[in-house]
Each structure stands twice: as structure tokens, then as C-alpha cells.
Amino acid sequence: MKNLLFAGLAILLSCLMATAQEVRQEVRQGPAIQAVLQEHQALIAKSSRKTIAPAIDAIANSGLEQAQTVLQVWAEKKMWMRKSDLQFFIGAPTENGLIELTDFDGGAVLGALPKAEVKQLKPNSGVRALIATALVRFQLSDPDPARRQDALTSLQRDPDATLLAPLRASIPAEPDAGLKAQKQRLERLMTIGYDSDTQARIAAISDMSGGLGVDLRATLNPLVATTRNVVAGTFPAARPETANVAAVLTPGQDGFSQAQAYELLVAKGLAPPRITQADIRAALTANIKDEQVAGFAVTELDNDATRQQAYSVLANSGAVSPFVTDDQVAAALQSHVFFDSFADPSPKVTTAAVAALRNIDAKVSLNQAVDLTLDALSLASIYFLAAIGLAITFGVMGVINMAHGEFIMMGAYTGYVVQQIIPDHTLSIIVAIPAAFAVTFAAGVAMERLVIRWLYARPLETLLATFGISIALQQLAKNIFGTQARPLTSPGWLDGAWALNDVVSISYIRIAIFCLALIFLGIFLYIMKRTRLGLETRAVTQNPNMAASMGINPGWVNMLTFGLGSGIAGVAGVAIGLFAKVTSELGSDYIVQSFMTVVVGGVGNIWGTLAGAAMVGFLQKGIEWLNPSNTLAAQTYMIVFIIIFIQFRPRGIIALKGRAAGD
């Protein structure tokens, strides 16, 4: 048994020796990528982000076919070094724990070595990033379109001046039209940023001028970024020659104050700093001797005038640096030239870039206006959706329902519960909409029967009673569902946004809400104008007694109308829950705005509600645009505006006239 084992080992050993000799022979006759690797052997073996660059460049610029393979293998941590002669190979672990080596040059399999005789190269993430950049040039002309796309994406994210030439070279042979367009665009952008020829850059800028892409602005903006600088002398004699001057500044003008100018001088070490109150304080504190500073008692130093006198005495004695007087400051400002300089040294390029950016800015602001309009439209449709139920109960019936917001909340929670039962998001939304309608319709009918019908003649009491219900419902929801927000997930096909260009985009969910608002408007108009219920509702609203004598049951009609309004609130709740968090306070967030929408629009008229929602939505977005950091302020100003608006049109935008107006 022992003998057999020894014999096996001996055979194996002799085999290994034989293959090793073969390897050496092959290396000698193969092409030179191994030579390139050997030239930078030490760097590659101990790769570090700081030192590896020459090695990678050498491989990438070797012009050999194998270079791409080497880089890929290296990045994938499959490159191994044979310890005996420090040469590099592709290594793959075999089943019996050995490492099978393959030559880069020629691709010959050289046989397996035990792990102890080889070393795996494990480049860290910094090195791998550098390798990836180097690989881009090969990938740009890779036969696999996905690889080419990846390379383009990485190049777009992180452009590199050295890759401009390989990119250009890869364009004519690009078979895919889409990729070709992308490559051409990227080539233009990189020309702007990195080309050595000024004329080419200017040509590229004028080619691209007028585009809206974020990438274009990201290319142009760094070129025209300015830094503030200063040189000694007077203008124009001391005009700085080396820098690409954007503007010469006069201290005290154009938002460049004298204080700022002097600070710049101090920061550049061209002038002594001014003595601040804090400096005085520190200097005085440092010079206290026997409860006295420069002849002043410490207790006297509780005002600025005495402190300055004491400091002057100290300064005269040479203990501290003297005050910088206003005259000295003025003289220092006089004797220096302040200017902004562009980051890019070429004036022609920056002039072209500034002109292009101005052109782009005009287009961008136009598109932003479009985007803002879309935003406002979607906000308006949300308000309309929240208010349309109120337009029925409050607008048509004149019943003020403070629990309307809680019906919206109930609808949203119904959607949440349905989603717990039916996991499929699309199906659950389809089920949730009628379910929410049914739940809130029932709640509305119950509330009308139990509470509101006793209070038709007393609107203020209706307000209070429904408010009581609102408190109870809110707390009930809190007791059942807890205080944390519940998710109501929208179906996958509503994710994402419809992007017109880099500036104008609108999410699908907002489009869906807009459509839903339109559908509801249609339903409302149909019911009110075309159905028996609508006719009876209008009759009962105008004169219940007369309607009753015509054979209409006012109680029944009121109940159904109120139920309808509440049901619509429930459906609105599902829609609102899709983009807002479902909490017990969901409704109260919308209730004041909803009432505002109805009141501003004009009670009793659906077109008024539409106009009101549009006004409130556009107004809010407009104010937010003026003061983008502060949505709270936007809401505040909007409400103040509405209060003032009601002064001038107490009956709303579209006021009913004649008998229909009621009083």
C-alpha cells in the first residue's frame, strides 16, 4: 500500500516537472504581453491605487490583442503569479485543489500547480476602478452590444481625457444606430471638455448649443466656473495676464462689498486682518495685570468705547498689533485689482461656453415652466379629487361635513386592507376602488340617516356634530391600525416617470390621478345632468317642499346623494393613499384645502370646484417656485391669499346667479 502511494507521488512529480519545462519554452517563443507584465512585475504584484497607474497604462497601450484579456482577468481576480519565476497567468482552481494555469500569449494550458507555488493577485477596489477605466477602450469596440453599452455608461459617468481618441476611433465601425448616436454625443461632450484644439472645442460647443441634457450642462458649467482672485496694482496697468478673466470687480459694487474685498486680501495674505471685538477682548484678557489693563480698571471694560481706548493704549505700547483704520482699508483696496477668473484658460472657449449656457438657460427656464405647469396640474387634480366629494355634499346639498377627510382616510385604509388580502398589486387596486366606494358609501348613508338629517336646518350644528364624528373616526382608526404609517403600494406599471427631456418629467402615478380626476368629473356631470337621481337631487336642493309635492322622497334622495359624495371621497382616498402615507391623519391634512377649493371655486357648481382646485394647485406651486426651500411658507401664503381673495369674490370664482344661488 505504502509503496503504491510513493509510486503515485513519484509519477505525479515527474509530470509536473515536465510541464514546467514546457511552460518555460512556450514563454520564450510567445509574443510580448508577458514581457510588458514582467517590466512592471513589482508594481503588479504589490498593486496599490497610488502606484499602479503606469503598469495599467503600459498594458493598455501595448497595442496587443491580449491586453484586454489581461485586464479583464486581472480585474476578476483570476490572474495568478507563479512564484518560481514571477510570471503571470490565468489561473483556474481545479477539482483536486490545484490551480490550472493558462498562458496569456497563445492561450495554451500549461497544467496545474499546487496552491503553495502560485499566488493569486487580488487588486483592491481602487485598483479595479482604474483597470475598468483602462478596459473601456477595448469594450467600446467589443462585439457584444451590452458590453459596449456598459463601457459608454461608465464613460458618461466618469469621462477621461485619454479615452477621447479610442472613443472617436470606435465610432465609424459602430453597427448599432442607437449606440452610435450615444457615442457621437459623448464624443462631442468630451471634445468640449478635453480636446487640445481650441477650434474643435468651440465647434463642439456650437454643435451642442441649445441642447437640454444635464450632461451638456455638467460639461459646460465647470469650464465657466469662476474663482475670485486679486493682484497688486491698479487697473488696467496691472491687468492679470495669466488668468482668463471673467470680470474685473470694483469693491462696493455688484454685490461685492468692501468688507468681502478686504477679507479676500487678508485671506491671500496681502493685508493685515482687521481687529474685531473678539480680538480686542482676547488681547485685553491676555494683558490683565493687577485688575488693570493699560491703566483701565477691569470693571470699567464693560463697553466697547472703553475697550477700544484700552486697546489703543496697548497698541501704542507695541504689545498688540495696531488697529487697521478705514483709511488703510481703503488704500489697500485701491492698490489692488479684484477679478473673477474662469477655470478654463482659453478665453475663446469660455466665451463660447457662456453664450451656449445662456442659450441653454433660456430653454431650460422655458421647460421648467412647462414642468411647473405639469406639477401644478397634478397637484390641482389631487385637490380636485379630494374636493369632488365635498362638491356634492357641501356644494350641492349644503351639508358641511367635517368628517369628509376621515372618509378619504377610510378609503385609503380600505385599500390597505384589500392589499393585505390580495397580494397582487394591480388586482388589489381594481378591487380596492369599488370596495372603498362601498365602505364609505355605507358610512356616509349611516351618518346621514343617524345624524345629519336631524340637523338640515342648523348648518353650524352639522359642522360640530360631523366634527365629533371626525374625532371619533380618527381615534378609531388609530386604535385599529396604530399610529405608524401603513403602505398602500401602487402596481408596478405605475412606477417610474414619463420623461419628455432632462427637465420635464411627470410620474405615471400623477398622470393616473389626473385621469382619475377627469373620470370623476365625467361621472359627476353624468349623474347630475343625465340621471334621475341628479334631477331629483337638484330639485330637492332647490326646494325640498316643492320636490316632495312632485312625488320625490327628499329623505331618500338626500341619503343617496350624501352616500355618493362620501363614496367618491373613499375612492379619492385610495388614489391619495398611493402616493401619500396612510395614517389616521391623512384626511385632516386635506380637509381645510378641500373646503378652500370648494369655497374659492364657488359653491354649488362643479366647474367652480374645478376652477378652485386649479387655482389652489397653481398658486401653491407658484409660491413654492418663488421660495423652493419652504413648502410650509407656501401653504401659509396660499391660505392668506385665499382669505383675501374671498374678500373680493365672496361667492367664489364661479358664482351662481338668480334662484339657484339660494339666498
Window of 153-161, 438-446, 529-537, 641-649 that interacts with other proteins by CB under 8 A: 641-649
Instruction: Give the shortest CB-373-to-other proteins separation in angstroms.
Output: 25
Q: Which of 124, 257, 373, 475 binds other proteins (CB under 8 A)?
A: 475
Q: How many CA atoms lie within 13 A of 19 on its CB side?
A: 15
Maximal C-alpha separation, the chain: 120
Rg of the chain's alpha carbons, rounded to an integer? 39
Q: Does 642 bind other proteins (CB under 8 A)?
A: yes
Q: Does 201 bind other proteins (CB under 8 A)?
A: no
Task: State the number of binding residues for other proteins (CB under 8 A).
Answer: 56
Instruction: Give the shortest CB-637-to-other proteins separation in angstroms.
Output: 8
Instruction: Give the shortest CB-588-to-other proteins separation in angstroms.
Output: 7
Q: Which of residues 71-100 bind other proteins (CB under 8 A)?
A: none
Q: Is 523 helix (H, G, I), strand (E, B) or coil?
A: helix
C-alpha angle 338/342/345, rounded to 5°? Answer: 115
Q: Is 240 helix (H, G, I), strand (E, B) or coil?
A: coil
Q: Does 558 bind other proteins (CB under 8 A)?
A: no
Distance of CA 11 to the CA centre of its chain: 66
Instruction: Give the shortest CB-299-to-other proteins separation in angstroms.
Output: 6
- Cell readout for 28 is 520564450
Q: Does 662 bind other proteins (CB under 8 A)?
A: no
Q: Does 484 bind other proteins (CB under 8 A)?
A: no
Q: Does 650 bind other proteins (CB under 8 A)?
A: yes
Which residues partner with 336 through β-bridges?
232
Judged by beta carbon, residue 465 or residue 509, the one nearer other proteins is 465
Judged by beta carbon, residue 422 or residue 646, the one nearer other proteins is 646
* Non-local CB neighbours of 393 within 8 Å, separated by 6+ positions: 399, 401, 404, 444, 561, 562, 565, 566
Q: Which of residues 134-153 bind other proteins (CB under 8 A)?
A: none
The full 3-state SS of 126-181, as one line of letters, equals HHHHHHHHHHHHHHCCCCCHHHHHHHHHHHHHCCCHHHHHHHHHHCCCCCCHHHHH
Q: Which of residues 390-409 bind other proteins (CB under 8 A)?
A: 400, 402
CB 270 within 8 A of CB 230: yes
Judged by beta carbon, residue 117 or residue 461, the one nearer other proteins is 461
Closest CA relative to residue 444, chosen from 288, 531, 346, 561: 561
Q: Which of residues 6-65 bind other proteins (CB under 8 A)?
A: none
CA distances from 283 to 324, 348, 352 (A): 15, 52, 53
Q: Which of 158, 197, 304, 326 binds other proteins (CB under 8 A)?
A: 304
Window of 144-152, 172-180, 283-291, 349-357 that interacts with other proteins by CB under 8 A: 283-291
Judged by beta carbon, residue 38 or residue 635, the one nearer other proteins is 635
Instruction: Give the shortest CB-643-to-other proteins separation in angstroms.
Output: 6
CB neighbour class for 451 (10 Å; exposed up to 12, middle 13-18, buried from 19): middle
CB 474 within 8 A of CB 588: yes
Binding mask 178-197 for other proteins (x = CB under 8 A): --------------------
CA distances from 261 to 143, 327, 502, 511 (A): 58, 15, 38, 51
Q: Which of 471, 519, 525, 660 binds other proteins (CB under 8 A)?
A: 471
Q: Which of 124, 153, 206, 285 binds other proteins (CB under 8 A)?
A: 285
Sign of CA dihedral 144, 148, 154, 157: negative
Q: Does 626 bind other proteins (CB under 8 A)?
A: no
Q: Is 93 helix (H, G, I), strand (E, B) or coil?
A: strand
Judged by beta carbon, residue 209 or residue 566, the one nearer other proteins is 566
Q: Which of 469, 494, 504, 582 binds other proteins (CB under 8 A)?
A: 469
Q: Does 257 bind other proteins (CB under 8 A)?
A: no
Q: Does 199 bind other proteins (CB under 8 A)?
A: no
Residue-wise over 167-194: b if at least 16 C-beta within 10 A, else e?
A: bbebeeebeeeebeebbebbbbbbbbbb
Window of 32-40, 253-261, 552-560, 587-595 that interacts with other proteins by CB under 8 A: 587-595
Instruction: Give the shortest CB-402-to-other proteins separation in angstroms.
Output: 8
Judged by beta carbon, residue 317 or residue 479, the one nearer other proteins is 479
Which residues partner with 248 through β-bridges?
339
Instruction: Give the shortest CB-436-to-other proteins separation in angstroms.
Output: 22
Q: Does 655 bind other proteins (CB under 8 A)?
A: no
Judged by beta carbon, residue 347 or residue 662, the one nearer other proteins is 662
Q: Which of 210, 468, 496, 662 binds other proteins (CB under 8 A)?
A: 468
Backbone angles phi, psi at 120, to 5 degrees: -80, 140
What DSSP character marks residue 650? T
* Residue 238 CB neighbour total at 10 angstroms: 13
Q: Counting every residue, how long is the chain?
A: 663
Closest CA relative to residue 201, chosen from 342, 363, 359, 347: 347
Q: Which of 4, 29, 647, 659 binds other proteins (CB under 8 A)?
A: 647
Q: Which of 120, 479, 531, 553 binds other proteins (CB under 8 A)?
A: 479
Q: Which of 347, 459, 496, 662 binds other proteins (CB under 8 A)?
A: 459
* Non-local CB neighbours of 302 within 8 Å, separated by 6+ positions: none
Instruction: Give the shortest CB-646-to-other proteins separation in angstroms.
Output: 7
The Cα 614–Cα 387 span in angstroms is: 12
Q: Binding residues for other proteins, per CB under 8 A?
A: 277, 281, 284-285, 288, 293, 298-299, 301-304, 307, 400, 402, 451, 454-455, 457, 459-461, 463-465, 467-476, 478-479, 588, 592, 595-596, 599, 630, 632-633, 635-636, 639-640, 642-644, 646-648, 650
